[in-house]
Amino acid sequence: MEFKMRIKLSVYIIFLTIFSCGQEKIMTKMVPLIRVPVLNDSMMIANIYNSSLENGQSYQMLDYLSNKIGGRQSGSPMAAAAVEWARQELIKFGFDSVYLQPVMVPHWVRGSIEKAKLFNTHFGEMDLSVCALGGSIGTDELGLMGNIIEVKSFEDLKNLGEKNIKGKVVFYNRRFDPKEISTFVGYGKAGNQRGQGAIEAAKYGAIGVIVRSLTPEIDDYPHTGYVGYDEKITKIPAIAISTLDAEFLSKTLLADATIKINITLSAKWFPNVLSYNVIGENFGSEDQKIILVSGHLDAWDTGSGAHDDGAGCVQAIESLRLLKINNYKSKHRLRVTLYMDEEYGGTGSFAYADSAKKNQETHIAALESDAGGLTVRGFSIESDLKNVAKVQAWSNLFEPYGIHSIEQGFSGEDIVALKDQGPVLIGLLPDGQRYFNYHHTPKDIFSEVNQRELELGAAAFASLIYLIDSKGL
Ligand SMILES: [Zn+2]
């Protein structure tokens, strides 16, 4: 289907190109003026897509970042290696300026021990598929031991009260709602168990929390992710459990509420570390206002951060490289920023936004790819409806490439830090049905990323940047 549409488009372009040779006067009379920019835009976008699909660099970049560097939590030696790798790539591609922006980032180390063992009179001992949530405090060598109480919500905690919770391990088992067509909505609805679960359970005297992995899939992979603490409330260890073992644990608790669990974690916090956002830019020919394209360089250590967010980083770099190799001279300053530390709360994005404010930089648009390297369906625009309509006016240019959804919505975790500075914020919107199978798990590896899907995303962003730069927003 897509191939046929591309052929049709090519025939249309060839026809108009031949027709225009030596017939300029007739063209001016016969073709309404409005057709000319549309034709030029179509050709430019076709060239961008062709370059990405024929000679793209995003897949090779992702191969290196995922397979040679791998998981790269902020503060880790791998994150430092990723910073240097990204800097070298930007230099290699001939950006006008490449520099590092310093930022102090959190440094947490998972450690080699993360175990949860069930003790039951019927089956004896049993290991569960778990991992420490990112940022969890550790336990001593013997670990914590206690009974388990299952809840679905913070409301359940309130109803049970301290008398039923104190001294126990709270098991959050609210399902990722499979009825939500947008998996990001499903993720959002289940997310507070992980983000605030330890804080809420500790208020009632819990000694630890087990959180059902945030995925609609039933499998045996625990999904890590940041767990929040409140300095005024006792910090308790927090683990994620695979959905398969969450179902098992729930059934086991129904049969025997006296079951005990032993959780041992060697996770540890270290002092903050100096790290960097990596920035490359090409100067504009008319105006130094900025069009930003971005992703986040840090990634959880359980996988190799191929989808989250290696894909976004290489698509951001590639989008500007594609414009450059197509000899596009931008009016505005085009900048790529690879943020450090999205996963612990965005210290990199705040440092970037602070610096932009201090230096009185103006961003007209900020783009982010942080929803996986999957087939692009559209753009999600965080701005007023007037700006959304301006981007929607380019829909016909994107339709031949399978992009049919240009809607108002959430943009990206890092670029929202720029929101009060007024740019139009735009997130790349890939198909999300499989994303949470990989998200924050050992499955988030290079072999799970499809080359064409990745390249189509880079081309979509390059095309959008071209339109914003040449037409304005
Ligand atoms: Zn991410």
C-alpha to C-alpha distance for 28 and 30, rounded to whole angstroms: 6
Name which of 282, 237, 296, 273 is nearest 111 in CA terms: 237
Asked if pLDDT for residue 7 goes beyond 80, the answer is no
Question: At 330, is the secondary structure helix, strand, or coil?
Answer: coil
| Minimum mean pLDDT range among 17-31, 115-129, 204-218, 414-428 | 17-31
Residue 451 CA, ligand 1 centroid: distance in Å? 19
Within a 10 A sphere around the Cβ of 375, how many other Cβ atoms?
Answer: 17
What is the reported pLDDT for 127?
Answer: 97
Name the band, by pLDDT with cuts 50, 70 and 90, for residue 106. Answer: very high
Listing DSSP states for 237-296 in one string gives: -EEEE-HHHHHHHHHHHHH-TT-EEEEEE--EEEEEEEEEEEEEEE--SS---EEEEEEE
Instruction: State both tokens at 352.
Output: 């970037």
Residue 110 CA, ligand 1 centroid: distance in Å? 19
Q: Is the peptide bond before 245 cis (omega within 30 degrees of 0)?
A: no
For residues 115 and 129, the answer to whether their CB atoms sit within 8 Å is no
The pLDDT mean for the chain works out to 92
Residue 305 CA, ligand 1 centroid: distance in Å? 9
**414 DSSP 8-state letter:** T
C-alpha to C-alpha distance for 175 and 191, rounded to whole angstroms: 10
Name the band, by pLDDT with cuts 50, 70 and 90, for residue 103. Answer: very high
Name which of 49, 38, 17, 42 is nearest 323 in CA terms: 49
For residues 111 and 224, the answer to whether their CB atoms sit within 8 Å is no
Averaged pLDDT, 176-204: 96
Instruction: State both tokens at 368.
Output: 């982010």
Name the band, by pLDDT with cuts 50, 70 and 90, for residue 213. Answer: very high
Residue 370 CA, ligand 1 centroid: distance in Å? 5
Is 342 an active-site residue?
yes
Averaged pLDDT, 414-436: 97
What is the reported pLDDT for 304?
Answer: 98
Asked if pLDDT for residue 242 goes beyond 80, the answer is yes
For residues 265 and 111, the answer to whether their CB atoms sit within 8 Å is yes
Averaged pLDDT, 316-337: 97
* Catalytic, out of 200, 342, 413, 455: 342
CA separation, residue 135 to residues 2, 74, 194, 195, 262 (Å):
44, 11, 11, 11, 19
Asked if pLDDT for residue 95 goes beyond 60, the answer is yes
C-alpha to C-alpha distance for 30 and 26, rounded to whole angstroms: 6
Instruction: State both tokens at 134.
Output: 């990112």
Question: In this predicted model, what pLDDT tens digit does every residue of 30-62 receive, in sequence order?
Answer: 444 444 444 599 999 999 999 999 999 999 999
Residue 94 CA, ligand 1 centroid: distance in Å? 27
What is the reported pLDDT for 48?
Answer: 98
Question: At 320, is the secondary structure helix, strand, or coil?
Answer: helix
